[in-house]
Structures are given as structure tokens and as C-alpha cells.
Structure 1
Amino acid sequence: VTAAHYMEGGVMLCIDTSHKVLRTTTAHELMSVASRGMPSNYEMAVKSAIVGSVVLTRYNNKTYIVDDVVLDQTPKSTFTNSKGETMTYVDYYKRQYNIDVKDLSQPLLVHRLKKKELKDMGENKLVCLLPELCYLTGLTDEMRSDFKIMKDVAQHTRLTPPARHECLQKFVRNVQSNKEAREILSDWGLTLDSEPVQLEGRVLPPEGIKFGSREVTANDMADFSREAGRERVLQPVELVGGQWVVIHTARDERVANQFIETFLMVCRPLGMKVGRPDLLRLPNDRVDGYVSALREKYSKKLQMAVVIFPSQREDRYNAVKKVACAELGLPTQCIVSRTIANESKLRSVSLKIALQINCKLGGELWTLKIPMQGLMVCGIDVYHDPTKRGSSVASFVSSMNVTLSRWFTRASFQNPGEEIVNSLKISLMEALKNYHQIHQQLPKSIVVYRDGVSDGQLSVARDHEIPQLTSVFRHFNGYEPKLTFVVVQKRISTRVYASLSGKGLSNAPPGAIIDHTITKRLWYDFLLVSQHVRQGTVSPTHYVVVHDGVGLKVGNLQRLTYKLTHLYYNWPGTIRVPAPCQV
């Protein structure tokens, strides 16, 4: 059970399948391996390896977060149980679970019970665990980067609509056949339907995609990748020979030459005029070698640097991007050599790189018909450092032309973990000034898409962020534009599937709209499926219109939102959210 809400169609219970990846490795084995790597500092080694991990104890099938490692406690240490008896951990596990502890000198893991786990216990409680009985859960970064492992995991976790439907029905049958569960529901005056909610939705028509040469219609999967590789782009750029450079190591020389030849070939149908680059071969793959090469080749005439890395390393990538963006102001395209080493895939990879480079140099790839005149579309999102050590970064983008293919961007720093943005007034002020510079007039309507706001923050966003935006208008004499503010929620538990033409259950097609029954009672909202999904069950995106000053018809706002999901230039198709939220 993921949620219970009073929706437009009544009281709704949202349920979904849940999976937990359990590894065969115990915490004891992980700590042993970690300590061998740092024999001089055992405490630091084991704590850095295990603290923060989620472990499962098979004797009671419960999961715990490891908050600490206690080195001065072992299985031979004593504790007092709930009956007031003092015993060792060895005796406890033998008496309670008939388990014989093998390593009597292993340290103990500590889990601090959270408030909801404490219930009526009042004071703080600690749970001590034996590493050899704790199995690790989740996937490591190494596992996530292994395509075969992730493919095998996906077969079990990404359920198709028929399989998901069967799991939900099984859950309902279990509840209905359980006497205690029926009594609890009866006490509340509730019954559980045997089938999920069935309702009618609408499917928006496929969109016409405008390239530089002609207009094409996206297929039923909202995909136009074939056309993107054949048609002339909306605004191609020119890469002058000798004014861009390809940097590579000696061992990647053959791969670099093959890539250049293929790159020149795929650029012709796109309308891009590309001359031959300068080649810069490095003797090794050291970070300072790449940084020095960028500084050495940089000049005001240099348009682009393509950097080919022999392997994927975050420190090397970060160093190159920092020097190129912050110090030199030079557009760069970083490539890992293995992605262009496969000759059978080289053309498709080179095409994607060509499209990215065209964008980075100020070109435009495609657009759609946007019937509204004088429209500015804005996107707002906040990035949070997963380590919680760095500041959060608020990003603001706004469209600068009628076709919504050119954008103004601004970033600002916030306190770590802070979601509500405080710098919107300055961001919108600068965006409007840039818009006026280009068009000699200001936009008549502004539609803002705000990503990352949860249900509990809707009122806060309405009361804190919208006033920042509207306060900007008074700084322009007699300027009173119409403003609509839409919150975009992609991390939702709702799943939808379709029954089309009697073919059984399948994923809802791109463009599917649901705006009744399972929507909120007190907010103007709708669900949109914009992307095509090949595996598992599609997740719709939830849009909540917090403020509607533009006054677009419901269908027109939904259509505008769907159009915007086609304009993310890293993918010739639709994505889950409007492009300004993904930029």
C-alpha cells in the first residue's frame, strides 16, 4: 500500500508491487574485505564500507539501516532483554532462533529505531545486529553499470500490465480472505473492490515535428529518430576546419580517426557544414594532460573541443568540464572511447553526437507548431547534492522565441536540501530583459512548469514562489502579463494501463490524458502519459495547476504540455516531463 486519498471518485487506495534486491553477501564478508584493504585503520575501513547500508536479517525477515559499528562489543557481550534477563548475544540467538554464532570476535552493527518504530517505547532504543547474520540489500555502483545484471533484475521488477494486474488482484484476494483484515475494514465502514478503478481517458493526436526541410508526423510511439537523422535541422551551425579540436590518447588514435570520418558523413544530411578538426594526441590519460591540452589549444577562434576518454572516470570528466566551462568558456563534447569503438553502432552514435554539438553551438534541431503568440514558457527545478555536503542549485530556464527552441538559463545556489526557491525574482527579471532585447517587447503570457514540488509543498510554492514572480511585473511600466504556474510531479505511485480494442491490458499510449476520478478534489490537475515504454508498466506524470492566470482551456493546456515533451534535444521523441524541466 503506497497511499490512501480522497480523490474525485471517492476514497482511493493506491497499491503497487514492491521488490527488494537481496544479495548473498553478508555484512561480515563485506567488512572483512574492506579491512584487508586498509589493515592499518580497521575502524575507518569497516565503517566506511557498511554504515548507511540497508541489511536484511533472514531469521525475522526485517530490514535495518546500519547507523554505526560498535568495535568494543562482540557476540559474547551481554545485554538485558525485555523480561529483564541478562544474557549474551550468543545465547540469545541460540535460544530465540536456534542459530549458532560462528565468529565470536566480530563487532556489532547498530540500528537506531526511528520515531515511527518506537511507537509507545518513548525513549530512544538501539538494535544491535551480528554482521554474519545480516545480508546486504540493493545494488552496488558496479552492479548498476553491468548491463546483464540490470537486464536480469528488470525482468523481475519491471512488470508488464497483465503481470502487475495479476499481482494486485492476488493482494486483494488475500485481504478479502483474511478475517482480521475484513474486520478492520468493516470497523472503518470500508470495503475493498475486487478490481482496480476503471475509467475512460483521452489520447491526444500525434504531433507534427518541423525540421528545416519539412514537417513530419511522429509515429504511434511518439518517436521520430529516423527522421531526425535524415532531415535538415531547423538551424544548422558551421564548424570551420581547424577551428575545432579532437583530443585523444595514443591508443585511441584509430578510434578517433574513424569517428571523425563518420561524423563528417552524418553531418551532411543535417545541413551542418563541418571542416576537418585539428587532432591532438596525448601520451597518457592523466587528468593534467587533458587540462593542459585544452589550455594549450584554446583561442578565441576555437569553436569546440571533442575529448575522447579511454575509460569513464568522474574526476577526469569534472576537471575537463570545469576548465572548459568556468575558465575558458569553451563548448566541449566528452566521449568514452568504447561508445565509438563498435563500428556497427558508430553511425548512430556519431549522429547523436552531431545533434548535441549543433545544440551546444547555438543551433536548433526541430520544433512544433505553437499557436499562442507572445508566449514565454519557463522551467524551474532544484538539484540536491546526494552527499548532502554541497549547496543545492536552483535552475531557471525561459524560452526566448515563438517556436520554444531557444532558451535563457540561470542558476543560483541555495542551502543544502532546500527545495523552495528564493531567487525567482532575479531570474525572471533577467529573463524578461533578455526577451525584450530580442523582440523589443515583453511576453503577453507566461506559463511556468515547476518540477520537484511534493503534495505537501503545493501551498508553500503557491504562497512563496508565485509572489516572487508576480512582483517582477511592477518593475516594467504598465506591464501586466497573464501567469500560469504548473507543478510537475514525476515521482508518483499511480500506474495506469489501457484496454484497447479488446487486445487485453497494455501500456497507455503516448498522449494519454486522465483528468477525472483519480485526480485531486481540491486542485486543478491531470495525468499525462507522454513517453513510450518498452519494459514494465508506464508511469504517468502528474500536473497540478497551482495558479491559472492565462486562462487556457483545459484541453489547450494539456496539449501545450504534451508538445513541450517533444522538445528535449537529447532525444528524438518524447520524455516524461516538459523540456524546460529537463534542460
Structure 2
Amino acid sequence: MPPRAGRPGRGRGGPPAAGRGGPPAAGRGGTPAAGAAGGGPHIPAQHVQAVGVRRPAPGTSGRRIVVTTNHYAVDVATSVIHHYDVVISPDTLPVRFNFEIIRRLQEVIAPAIFTPRAVYDGRKNMFSPQELDLGETNSATFDVTLDDPNPNDKRGPKVYKVKLTWVASINSEVLARFLQGQQSHDNTILTAITALNVVIRMQPSLMHPFNARSFFTDRETVDVGGGIVLWRGYFQSIRPAIRRMLINVDISTAAMYKDGPLLDVCLAFLNYRNPADLTPGPRFGERERLRLSRFISSLRVDVRALQPAQPQPGRGNRRPRVIRGVTRAAAAGISFDRNGQQITITQYYQQVYNYRLKHPGIVCVEVGNRGDIIPIELCQVLRGQLVKKQLSPEITSKFVEFSTKAPVERLRSIEQALGVLAYGQSEYVRQFGLTVQPDARPLSTPARVLNPPTLRYGAGSKQQTIDPRSGSWNLVDKKFYSPAKFERWVVVVYENDRRFNQQTAQGMVQGLLSACDAVGIAVRFREPVITYENPQGRVDQQLKAAGGACREKTGGFPNLIVAVLPEGATDLYVAIKHFGDVMTGVATQCMKSNKCGRAREQYFANICLKINVKLGGINSIPDPRSVAFLTDPKNPTIVMGADVMHPPPGAQDRPSFAALVANVDSDTSKYIADLRVQTGRREMITDLEAMSQRMLQMYMEYRKHVEKKPAPEPKRIIFYRDGVSEGEFQQVVDLELPRLKRACQNLKINPKITLLITGKRHHVRFFPQNQKDADRSGNCPAGTVVDEEIVNPIEFDWYLQSHAGLLGTSRPAHYVVLHDDNNLNSDGLQALTFALCHVYARATRSVSIPAPVYYAHIVCSRAKIHYDPSGQLNLSDSATAPSDAATATLEAYRANFRPVHGTQSKLMYFS
């Protein structure tokens, strides 16, 4: 039986030093010991079954290098692991609280049964190195109290019920066979790997704040304002690799509530200085109250112990209280009945505790299940509480800055991590027979640097074909492969005319025209209408007025609207995109005033990359000779990218959005998109059949009517699916793949399908061993691929770092092949994937994932543009649901969703 909760991580283990040959050396339990991952190419046995496609031989193309990776070898002893199901009553307790209950059970309530100690995942699973004595039924229920009896408390401490039931015994020999490629991946293997992860995380989970797979310490922190402090932490995950188990170690970051007075946190969050600012009124209105309430809800606080004027029995063992919300009224304005008399909160503390509130005029907080009201000044925020709410853009920027470490610095931190992780000092690690050498070093693995595809630009280019170097190239002396043209356009300036005057606007126009001329975009009317508008006004009316002015001047409505926006104008951007992409079908291009006012040629060249494809042009194509698989005229290929975006944490009443993007041309450079609303937090794409059918139809129509191809139907489909965890791979095979096949059947076509998962939510990193193999940022070069030693023993997967590093340590993408009718080998799929990372229209750089997947992510992130900005229903953080019923809420979002305009649906409006 598999574990009851939690998903396995996505990191995939790590390798030994390169070049070590010879047969694998057995570890203490049949699991190969450190350094055992040599012995030539690893191919699973014929009888072994994989979730997806079985691993083929590794690729051979490209230049060979050696990289260091953030993995440590771990030796696993032969043992039997006993799996128990855990039920704690009540079942609504936080994970942190569950850990306290299990610790108390093992150390105080029943230490004789739990010797040696078992490990626990915080929810439903316990693993023990020995069978627990739970009686003949292999099941027992324990009464656990977290506090010792207090003679002053007549009620006694609260009792929690813990029921343990034996589930299964797992012999680690099956795991050893799996690592050798001799055993299929099944629930036993999954449970064994999960158990080992619980083992290494048990000690840190009891000692430090933690989330799913990371724990955090206050050794390195930074206060970023808004009541938030960033803490450095460590990620760790045991992963199966070829012929052995490895521990993937990385640094991580968490946002924590600032500990100390709750009043200080509230003021910092709202950017207030004076406690009196929290007085209900114009400054602290309902909107600010709701924002603050959402931010501090579920926060645990200590309430200052006040000595009652009269001794009160039954008030022992005061535990932290959990905030439920913020009151609408102040302490002096909230009254309740006490002994038949109405008194205020202020009077209550004066009468009962002889305590005069310092700030009786400000709001209070509601705590506990009963909604007790406590003055903010009496609350202290406990240390080490993770912020699970969506962070503001300003805090997010600081979060990214704190998280960013250059490769050399990151590797140094990873090397120092063993001292903090202290595997040798953990009684849990020792009792389960895991060994990590105290002097262990991050492992090395063979890698290859793939050759980039040749890119082709248009006629008139000084250099019509180029071979990108180091993951980038430039537009100097190059014409677009298929340049667009537009006749009429308007410029709408939303910035203050003192910051962006007419002269600046004219300079911006000339810079954009020069860039268009340089890349071949033809512009008929060279003097656009320029208008200045109030960013607080009705955007649709303003843009219609600008269009009318254009018609008066030129005799027609504009083909392009250029909008100049002030800093932080997200709502304005959404309104402009809604008007252009959804309402009217007119292409829009937004620019920030502080960038375009006195921009250089490179800035406007980048703007032209976006404008050209929005108007139907093609910037560049991969040269057909360098990507023969994609451009084979006998086997037309359509490439699709799919992604799903879920609502932010805490937003239970919002939908998810599913996007599908696909090329329509023969050169895999011109893409279209489809976006659908679906049930919140549902990962599988509900409407995939209809969405993919539309893509296939538009592909065939384009090839037939535009490219004039005699056989327009595709022979191959390459489908990249983003955002899916390992635990959902089988669902993709069982649910999404049949939907894609049905779409083909509906159109009476039978293309061969290759389906890959694209993943970036992992912690695998690569570091060049030799400086000559590093790029300018110190990262591995673009095109670095790893498909040996640290990868899965039986599944067809690999890592590809397809982009050049800019800041920090680059993260490779992880690819898993779940289905392949085209029978592609490692070299073929890796080269194809790397080529698709070069056709991203918005940049002259290779990107980290294939362009259609990148586009799908962008389409999802722009879901807001499909809703009327002036309507009641939107996707802002402060939006409230139109109904308490989840179904009604989803239907409201569906009913108000507006697809893109018919004109834009055939263009790359999302670029």
C-alpha cells in the first residue's frame, strides 16, 4: 500500500565521479555503495515495466564534459521497514502539532513500545525499523496529552487519540533490485523511497521550522519589511539513481513572519507608523482590514499573561492561540455580556486584570475556535512561522534576490550543508541503517554540451543563417524571416506629461520606427496619433477615442496600439490587453515609461520581436537542415505545449486555468493558443480533447490555405506537458493521453504521439568542474545535458540546461518521456527539445524550456485579461467569491470568461 499523503519530489538523485568503471560494489544491503554507479550504459531488463517509456541507451552527441552535481552518496543497509497508518483525532490539526503529539507518544506515553524510535511524516504514515508491539490485531489506540496534569486546572489537559495500524513490511532488497534495473516501479518501491525520505527529515522536522522537504534556520536572515523576514534553509531528498540511492541537497529560502509584538507586524504590513493608524476609519477602512486579516490569519501568537485581580481556577498550561481574523471595531467599541452586564473589551481588562490598554481605540484580533477577542498589544508572534500567503511583488523581488547565489557560492553552501544536516548524529538515520560519510563530497557525473540548431533570418540580412553561441545572439544586420507590416497606429501615454513629455514621446516613436526599419517591419504612416490619458479613467473609452482620432487623421482604425505605462500599473496593463486581445482584436504593445523614454536600440529591437509576431510575422526559424525531424516534409510535425495555473495559496474559491499552445506552420515558429477555465487545483486538463482538436484543425488549415501543402494533416505530435508531479504521471497517461488520441480520431487522422513531461520544480543543479567549461556567469554552458548516473534507473528521463546563465545558479529542466510512438532515441529527443528552446519569439536567447511550453505558461499567467476589468468578478488578490458554493463560483468564472477575439486567436497575442 503506498503512503497515504504527500507527493514524491521531482529531483532525481545524483552521480559518482566520472570515469569510474568496473562492476557495482554491493552496499551493506544489496544497495550499491557509494562510487558504484559505473559499469557502462545502464539499460533496464526486458521484463521491467515503467510508468512511461523504459530507459534507452544514453545519448552520445555533443562535446563531453564533467560536472559536479548537488548529490551525496548514501549507503542503505538491508533491512525490513514496517509501515503503519496513523490516525490522529481530531484530524484537522496542523502538521507541526501532529509532530508534537507523536514525539510525546514515543518519548513519554509509550517509550517501551517505541524503542528504537519510529519516524513520522506529519500526516498519515509512520515507519519503524522494528515491528511495534500493538497486540494481536496489529493495531492500537493511545491517549496522548501534550501537557502534564496541573493541580490548578480541574478540567485536566486535552487528550488526543492516536490510532496506529500495521500496513505492510517492506524488504529493502526490492529497492536494490529496482536500482539495478531488475525490478519494476510499483507501490512497494514508492513506499520504500518515501520511508527513507521520512527518515532523513525526522530530526530536522522536530528541531526547525519546515515545509514539505526543506527546513529553515535563523543562521542567515534578512528583514525585507512588510512584517516578513527571510530565512535560509536546506532542501534534502533521497532519490533513486542508476545502481544506487543518492541524497539531493540544496539551499532554499522561506518567508517567515517577523517574531515579536503583533502590533509591529501589523503596522509593517500596512506600512503604517503609528498604532493609532489601526483605528477604524478612513485610513484603516474595510479593504485594509480584510488585507490585514488575510495576512495574519492562522498566525500563532502568545498572549501576554496578566495576573487576574481575583484568582481564577482552571487557567493553567496556556498554549499559543491561533488568529482567525481582525475585528471591525476597536477594543473600546466591542461590548459583550459579563454576569448580566454589558462591558467593553477595554473595561474587561481593567476590571479583571487591572490592566489599562495602551491602545483602546484600535482593532483587536479574534483567536481560537470560539472567536475570543484579544487586544493586539497583548499578542506576541512566535518565532519561525512560515508565510503561506501570496507575497507582494516587492517582497517577491527581495525573496528572489536573497535566494540568488552564484554557482561557486551555492556549491560552497551545499558542501557546508553536511555539517548542518548531521546525518551521523541523527538517531533515526542510524537506526534505519543509512550511512552518509562525514567527509563526503558532492558527486560528479558525465555530461555533454549539445550543438545548437542553425537559425535562419530573412532575405536582406547581412548574415542569413547563424549558429548561436553561449545561448544567445543578436539582431544586428538581420531582417525578420517573415516581417509583418502595419499602416496605422496610435500611442497612448498614461505617464505624467512632466515625466514623459511630447519631446520624449516623439523620441520614443522615432526609436521604434528605426528599429522596425532595421528588421524589415513596414510602417506606412510614420506619424502616429499621440494622446495623454488619465490612468484612473475608463481605458476602453480612452482607447476607442484614440482609435477615432486615428481614423480622422488616416482614414482608418489603427492596426497597433502602443501604450506607455507608469511603474506598477498592473491593472492598467490588464485593461489594455482586455480591450485589444479580447474586445476588439487590435494588437497592443505596452512599454514602461522609465524604459522607453530614452531607450537604446537594443530595447526597441526587443519590442519589435514582440510586435512582429503579434501582427502575424515570423522572427526566425530553425534551419531545416539542422532540425530534420521537425521539418521533414514527409512527416509533418505539430508541437504542443500544455500547462495549468492554480489559484494562489488560501484562495479556495478560485478556478484553475489550462492552456494549450501549438505551432501551425511547418517550421515550428508560429504558434496559437487556447485557454480554458476548470475546477480549482485540478491538474489534469479537463477540456484537452476539444482544445487539441482545435489546434490540429488550425494547423491543417494553415498548411492547406497559407503554405499550400498537398497533405496538411500531421504525421507526428510532440506533446510537452508542464507542471506535473511524479505522483501524477500515471494520470497523464490514463486521462490526458486518451483525450489527445480522441481529438485525432474525431478528425480522422492518426499521427504518432510522443508525450514528455517538462519539470523545473526540482532541486538538481550542475556546476562546471573546469573553468573552461563555464559560461560568463559561472554556470554550465547552454546545451548541457545529463542522462547518466543521476537519472532514474528504469524511466526514460534526462536533464537539459538549455539556457545561458544570467544571475545565480541556472536550473536545468527535467524531461520524462511517458509515451513515444515515434521510437525516438536519446540523441533525437534531446536535440529536438534543445532546438525548440531556440524558437522563443520574445528573445534572441535560448530559453530554459521549449517555446510552446513557455508560451503556455504565459497564456495561463494572463488569465486576468479574459475578464472585464470594470466587472465585479476578477482575479486580484482582494477579490471575493460571488458565492459561497464552489460550484456556483466556478460557473460564475466560466460565465464571465471571454475568449480572445477571433482575429487574435490566429496570432501570437501572448508574445
Match in the other structure for 1:349: 603
Classify 1:581/1:25 alpha carbon distance in 2 versus 1 (closer, same or farther; 3 Å). farther
Distance in 1 (CA, whole Å) between partners of 2:676 and 2:841 is: 24
Match in the other structure for 2:701: 437
Match in the other structure for 1:141: 392
Q: Does 1:287 align with 2:537?
A: yes
Q: 1:273 aligns with which of 522, 527, 544?
A: 522
What code does the residue aligned with 1:375 have?
T
Please state whether the residue corresponding to 2:818 is helix, strand or coil.
strand
Distance in 2 (CA, whole Å) between partners of 1:562 and 1:503 is: 19
Distance in 2 (CA, whole Å) between partners of 1:487 and 1:129 is: 51
Distance in 2 (CA, whole Å) between partners of 1:270 and 1:46 is: 49
Q: Does 1:363 align with 2:617?
A: yes
Classify 1:170/1:550 alpha carbon distance in 2 versus 1 (closer, same or farther; 3 Å). same
Cα deviation, 1:398-444, whole Å, max 9, x if unaligned, reads 11122111123222111122211011111121222222223342111
Contact persistence 1:375–1:446 (CA under 8 A): yes
Bigger shift: 524-533 or 368-377?
Answer: 368-377
How far 1:510 moved relative to its partner? 0.8
Q: 1:574 aligns with which of 846, 857, 860?
A: 846
How far 1:248 moved relative to its partner? 2.0
Please state whether the residue corresponding to 2:845 is helix, strand or coil.
coil
Q: Does 1:483 align with 2:745?
A: no
Match in the other structure for 1:7: 241
Distance in 2 (CA, whole Å) between partners of 1:285 and 1:134 is: 42
Q: 1:385 aligns with which of 647, 671, 674?
A: 647
Match in the other structure for 2:280: 39
Classify 1:10/1:70 alpha carbon distance in 2 versus 1 (closer, same or farther; 3 Å). closer
Classify 1:223/1:503 alpha carbon distance in 2 versus 1 (closer, same or farther; 3 Å). closer
Distance in 2 (CA, whole Å) between partners of 1:237 and 1:321 is: 20
Q: 2:722 aligns with which of 448, 451, 454?
A: 451
Classify 1:446/1:45 alpha carbon distance in 2 versus 1 (closer, same or farther; 3 Å). closer
Match in the other structure for 2:570: 314
Aligned positions of 1:75-90 closer than 5 A: 75-76=305-306, 86=316
If the length of structure 1 is used for normalisation, what is the TM-score? 0.81
What code does the residue aligned with 1:197 have?
L
Distance in 2 (CA, whole Å) between partners of 1:87 and 1:184 is: 30
Match in the other structure for 1:67: 298
Match in the other structure for 2:483: 236
Aligned positions of 1:137-176 closer than 5 A: 141=392, 143-144=394-395, 154=401, 157-173=403-419
What code does the residue aligned with 1:8 have?
I
Classify 1:358/1:276 alpha carbon distance in 2 versus 1 (closer, same or farther; 3 Å). same
What code does the residue aligned with 2:637 have?
L
Q: Does 1:469 align with 2:711?
A: no
Distance in 2 (CA, whole Å) between partners of 1:37 and 1:293 is: 40
Contact persistence 1:490–1:576 (CA under 8 A): no
Please state whether the residue corresponding to 2:600 is helix, strand or coil.
helix
Match in the other structure for 1:56: none
How far 1:562 moved relative to its partner? 0.6
How far 1:295 moved relative to its partner? 5.1
Distance in 1 (CA, whole Å) between partners of 2:837 and 2:784 is: 13
Classify 1:272/1:312 alpha carbon distance in 2 versus 1 (closer, same or farther; 3 Å). same
Bigger shift: 387-396 or 263-272?
Answer: 387-396
Match in the other structure for 2:263: 28
Match in the other structure for 1:414: 678
Contact persistence 1:47–1:69 (CA under 8 A): no
Contact persistence 1:67–1:111 (CA under 8 A): no
Classify 1:185/1:216 alpha carbon distance in 2 versus 1 (closer, same or farther; 3 Å). same
Please state whether the residue corresponding to 1:223 is helix, strand or coil.
coil
How far 1:3 moved relative to its partner? 1.6
How far 1:173 moved relative to its partner? 4.1
How far 1:317 moved relative to its partner? 2.0
Aligned positions of 1:508-527 closer than 5 A: 508-527=780-799
What code does the residue aligned with 2:425 have?
E
If the length of structure 2 is used for normalisation, what is the TM-score? 0.53
How far 1:187 moved relative to its partner? 2.4
Distance in 2 (CA, whole Å) between partners of 1:295 and 1:352 is: 28
Match in the other structure for 2:493: 248
Structure with higher RCO (Cα < 8 A, 6+ apart): 2
What code does the residue aligned with 2:845 have?
G
How far 1:582 moved relative to its partner? 1.3
Classify 1:38/1:524 alpha carbon distance in 2 versus 1 (closer, same or farther; 3 Å). farther
Distance in 1 (CA, whole Å) between partners of 2:760 and 2:242 is: 20
What code does the residue aligned with 1:172 have?
L
Classify 1:311/1:499 alpha carbon distance in 2 versus 1 (closer, same or farther; 3 Å). closer
Classify 1:18/1:396 alpha carbon distance in 2 versus 1 (closer, same or farther; 3 Å). closer
Classify 1:371/1:229 alpha carbon distance in 2 versus 1 (closer, same or farther; 3 Å). same
Please state whether the residue corresponding to 1:206 is helix, strand or coil.
coil
Please state whether the residue corresponding to 2:754 is helix, strand or coil.
strand
Instruction: Report which of the two structures shows the higher radius of gyration computed on alpha carbons.
Output: 2
Distance in 2 (CA, whole Å) between partners of 1:16 and 1:129 is: 39
Bigger shift: 38-47 or 25-34?
Answer: 38-47
Please state whether the residue corresponding to 2:411 is helix, strand or coil.
helix
Cα deviation, 1:373-395, whole Å, max 9, x if unaligned, reads 21110111112233454322211
Match in the other structure for 2:834: 562
Distance in 1 (CA, whole Å) between partners of 2:656 and 2:703 is: 33
Q: CA RMSD in A?
A: 3.5
Q: Does 1:399 align with 2:663?
A: yes
Contact persistence 2:720–2:756 (CA under 8 A): yes
Classify 1:179/1:512 alpha carbon distance in 2 versus 1 (closer, same or farther; 3 Å). closer
Stretches of structure 1 that go unaligned for 5 or more consecutive residues are: 54-64, 79-83, 91-101, 113-127
Distance in 2 (CA, whole Å) between partners of 1:426 and 1:145 is: 36
How far 1:364 moved relative to its partner? 0.7
Match in the other structure for 1:191: 435
Classify 1:36/1:174 alpha carbon distance in 2 versus 1 (closer, same or farther; 3 Å). closer
Decide which structure has greater helix share.
1
Please state whether the residue corresponding to 1:2 is helix, strand or coil.
strand
Contact persistence 1:76–1:88 (CA under 8 A): no
What code does the residue aligned with 1:573 have?
R
Distance in 2 (CA, whole Å) between partners of 1:502 and 1:337 is: 41
Contact persistence 1:267–1:273 (CA under 8 A): yes
Distance in 2 (CA, whole Å) between partners of 1:579 and 1:337 is: 28
Bigger shift: 291-300 or 407-416?
Answer: 291-300
Contact persistence 1:51–1:67 (CA under 8 A): no
Cα deviation, 1:555-581, whole Å, max 9, x if unaligned, reads 111011011111111111011111001
Distance in 1 (CA, whole Å) between partners of 2:573 and 2:304 is: 44
How far 1:103 moved relative to its partner? 6.8
Classify 1:346/1:279 alpha carbon distance in 2 versus 1 (closer, same or farther; 3 Å). farther
Contact persistence 1:35–1:46 (CA under 8 A): no
Contact persistence 2:262–2:377 (CA under 8 A): no
Cα deviation, 1:330-371, whole Å, max 9, x if unaligned, reads 111112211112x2x332222211221111101111121331
Match in the other structure for 1:493: 763
Contact persistence 1:5–1:13 (CA under 8 A): yes
Please state whether the residue corresponding to 1:76 is helix, strand or coil.
coil
Q: 2:466 aligns with which of 187, 210, 216?
A: 216
Match in the other structure for 1:124: none
Distance in 2 (CA, whole Å) between partners of 1:211 and 1:403 is: 12
Please state whether the residue corresponding to 2:804 is helix, strand or coil.
coil
